[in-house]
Chain A
Amino acid sequence: MSEPGIDGLRRSLEGVFAALLATCDGEGVPNVSMISQVHYVDPGRVALSYQFFNKTRRNLLATRRAAVQITDPETLAHHRLDLDYEETQTSGPIFESMKAKLAGIASYHGAQDIFRLLGADIFRVRAIEAVPGPVRPLPPDRRSLLAAARRTCEALDGLQDLEELLDGVTGALAREFGIEQSIILMAEGGGDRLYTVATHGYPSGGVGAEVLLGEGVIGVAARENTPIRIGHMTLEYRYGAAVSATARRAGLLCEEARTILFPGLSAPRSQIALPIREGGRVAGVLFAEAETVMRFGYEEEDALALVAGHLGARMALIRQEAEEAEAAAAPAPPPGEGMVTMRYFPHDQSVFLDHDYLIKGVAGAILWRLAREHLATGRTEFTTRELRLDPGLRLPAPADNLDARLVLLRKRLEERRACLRIEKSGRGRFQLLASSRLALQQAGPAEDAV
């Protein structure tokens, strides 16, 4: 028998239509079930999730044989794969990818513990059979994703500043891939959350919105350091909802899922989140979504992974260049008009301008530090180097993306039309410009006016 290849069947492995899985026990009694995931591993292998199907599982271990039927959601062609079980993986990239996708699905339903992946069952594809039947032609005007990825990477190469780079990516996704809604988030170095630094296609900017590690497709992509896609959220939602209802009846779940405030679509049907890596570490997440079903498939995932990889490399290069330029920098002073009270709450490092919330976390601490310095010395010119070396800021790690926090801070000040602005004045240097006089007030056990 010739070695079959399944690269041409990847659309059928997206899980749009549930696959059919047949096994037999040692006595030849067959079993058939519908499964949501037949995961592409490589041209000769697929993986099935080992989670619920206990009879199937026992059959597989007894006979090591399975058959699946898959359906192409566009041509509606059916194929059957004869599979030989090879092994069960409980760690590694395939397991993590399947586990994360499962966790991403489950996190929308508060069913994380029920949707636990116990293993990725790896199968060699022994034979492929095309099922006779009517097949629809593919539309001829399909976009070349490889060409789109290449043009996007080339566009990023021309951008020398982090903010331009981040906005450049989301713009290129719209232009080259037709992705109208996208978000870039940065990871808190060593922290438990990601924060939004660039958005495209949403009525409200949403910069500063946070996602906890492990929450939704974004949080899971960051935690597991692997791309996560949900391509048919309604179907998978119902699947999750059915399981949750069963689990609740069985007393295994009692709490509703908590919701995240996020500048996303109110009714997304497809989402994809890809880790942006710097030296293997997750520095951020590139996220895109759409109101259409199955917007992001294997091909889009591959193309966007190239873009996210290139973005990570560009970010690292820009930071390296900025750090080199930080060595030379000097201060200078001017003033402002009116009076605004800046209030700082050390417990969560949040900053309010008069009574309006502005920012919290490390970005809040940075602004407070800059404002204190500005008021005490009149300085307006600062360097990223001095912030990096300031032990009072408690930056999470040496590799923490300080530039991204300054982008966040600058955008928040701009969005709020605040009396303060941050402007880049050179490589590794920036200015704090105040259009009003500032009064500083630190909240705490005893309110502290500065």
Chain B
Amino acid sequence: MPEKPEPAPPAAEPALPPEVVALAQNGAAISMAARDADGRPVVGLGVGCRLRPDGRMRILLSEPANLRLLAAIEAGSALAVTFVSTRAFGAFQVKAGSAARCPASPDDLPELDRQVALASDGLVEIGFNRTQAAGYTAFVAGELTAIELRPERVFLQTPGPGAGTEIAR
């Protein structure tokens, strides 16, 4: 976690491709993976994502629903995060060697509400009913926590022959 404030994104830090930035912050389904102390993969589900001016990604997630993932991250696990568009099935995966856990803050909520509404609409658009869409994207504000990571590698993940291709930054 950087302690001192950064005035602007440094030119040396390559920006994420614009399509990743757009997808990550506009109602994508967010899934995460880490490795626990026994060496087993653990899987988690995110609620929303905010990109910090310094290039870090801030993922909001339910704490009680992701205890194993959070424990793995706090123990120093690397992290993978996949963003899947509910509308078009475009997908990207971001990887980082580590991530930091942070508390969620009240100013996360308006943006989270916007993203969750988009995600829910996207699910309805592809055939889910409103109850399913709302249930899948539901979160309890008081149970939210956050993790922050600095993306190191980005991969195309849309299913098909091009899946797994690393995206140049």
Contacts and interface: CB of A to CB of B under 8 A. Distances in A.
Nearest to B161: A250
A28 B84 contact: no
A134 B127 CA distance: 22
Contacts, number: 144
Given A32-B81, A69-B43, A114 B126 contact: no
A174 interface: no
Contact of A24 (B31, B35, B160): B35
Interface stretch (B8-16, B51-59, B108-116, B128-136): B128-136
Q: Interface size bucket, A side?
A: 35 or more
B77 A235 contact: no
Interface in B4-44: 29, 31-35, 39-44
A134 B137 CA distance: 11
Contacts of B77: 28, 30
Contacts of B90: 242
Interface stretch (A15-23, A218-226, A316-324): A15-23
A44 interface: no
Interface in B78-113: 78-82, 84, 88-91, 93, 95
Contacts of B41: 22-24, 30, 63, 65-67
A202 interface: no
Given A33-B82, A34-B31, A238-B89, A132 B163 contact: no
A29 B97 CA distance: 8
B29 A53 contact: no
A242 to B, nearest CB: 4
A33 B157 contact: yes
A54 B39 contact: no
Contacts of A76: 132, 135-136, 138
B162 interface: yes
A139 to B, nearest CB: 12
A133 interface: yes
Interface in A1-60: 16-18, 20-24, 28-34, 52-55
Contacts of A80: 42-43
B62 A31 contact: no
The secondary structure that dominates the A interface is mixed
Contacts of B126: 234-235, 238
Given A33-B93, A234-B127, A246 B78 contact: no
A239 interface: yes
B33 A31 contact: yes
B55 to A, nearest CB: 20
Contacts of B160: 52, 114, 242-243, 246-247
Contact of A34 (B80, B91, B128, B131): B91
B65 A133 contact: yes
Given A30-B33, A33-B82, A63-B39, A239 B45 contact: no
B64 interface: yes
A271 to B, nearest CB: 14
A24 B41 CA distance: 6
B68 to A, nearest CB: 8
Contacts of A21: 43
Contacts of B131: 136
A436 B64 CA distance: 80
B138 A134 contact: yes
B136 A24 contact: no
A221 to B, nearest CB: 23
Interface of B: 29, 31-35, 39-45, 62, 64-65, 68, 77-82, 84, 88-91, 93, 95, 126-128, 131-132, 135-136, 138, 157-164
6 contacts: A20-B31, A22-B43, A30-B80, A54-B163, A242-B89, A246-B160
Interface of A: 16-18, 20-24, 28-34, 52-55, 63, 65-69, 71, 73, 76, 78, 80, 82, 114, 129, 131-134, 136, 232, 234-235, 238-239, 242-243, 246-247, 250, 252, 269, 293
> Closest 8 CB pairs between A and B?
A22-B33, A76-B135, A32-B33, A246-B160, A30-B33, A22-B43, A234-B127, A22-B41
Given A17-B136, A131-B45, A242-B88, 4 more contacts: A30-B35, A33-B82, A52-B161, A78-B65
